[in-house]
Amino acid sequence: MSLEWIVITLMWCVGVISVVVCPKQHLRKLLFTMLLCQALTWVTTLIHVYYGLLSFPVREFPKATDLLVTTEYFFYPLICGYYVVYEPSRHVGARMAYLALWVTGLTTIDIVIERYTDLIEYIHYSWYWTWIVFFGLFAITNISCQQFFKSRALFRGEKEVTE
C-alpha cells in the first residue's frame, strides 16, 4: 500500500471515529455543517481543478471525478463542522482568532499532504490561496449555521415527534 492510500485510510479512520464519539447534543449541528461545507468545498475545488490551479493525481474514483473525495467531501467538511460546533461565543476578535487558528491548522495539513504525497498538486496555486479559500468557506459556513440554528423554537416540534 502506497503512502497516499495510507493517508486516505488514516483520514477516513480519524473522521469516522470523531463522528462516532461526537456528543449527541452536537451531532445535528456537526452533520448539517458538514453538508453545507461539503457543497461549498465541492464547488470551489471543482472551479480550481477546471481552471488548472490544482490537480489530484491520486484519487479514489479517477474515472468519476477529478477531485479527491476524502479531503473535499469528508475530511475538510468534518474539520469545518468541529470548528463551528466548538466555536467560542466571545467577542468578534476572539472568534476571528479562533477561525484563523483552525484555518491555519487545516492549511498546514493541506501543505503537508501536497508536499509529501501525490494526493494534491498545486499547479498555479500556493498555500496562501488555500488559507484564503478555507477562511472564506469556514466563515460562510459558520454564518449560515448560526442563522439556521438561531432559533431553538424551530426544532421544538421536531423534538416532540422524535421522543
How does 82-105 read in b/e, with b if 16+ C-beta sit within 10 Å? bbbbebeeeeeeeeeebbeebbee
Res 150: pLDDT: 78
Domain range list for the chain: 3-162
Q: Are 2 and 116 in contact (CB under 8 A)?
A: no
Mean pLDDT, consecutive 10-residue stretches, the chain (163 aa), reads: 89 92 90 94 93 91 87 92 88 90 95 92 92 95 88 59 53
Res 41: pLDDT: 93
pTM of the entire predicted model: 0.85
Res 62: pLDDT: 85
**Cβ partners under 8 Å of residue 158, min gap 6:** none
Res 155: pLDDT: 60
Cβ neighbours of 48 (radius 10 Å) = 20
Res 146: pLDDT: 87
**Cβ partners under 8 Å of residue 118, min gap 6:** 4, 57, 58
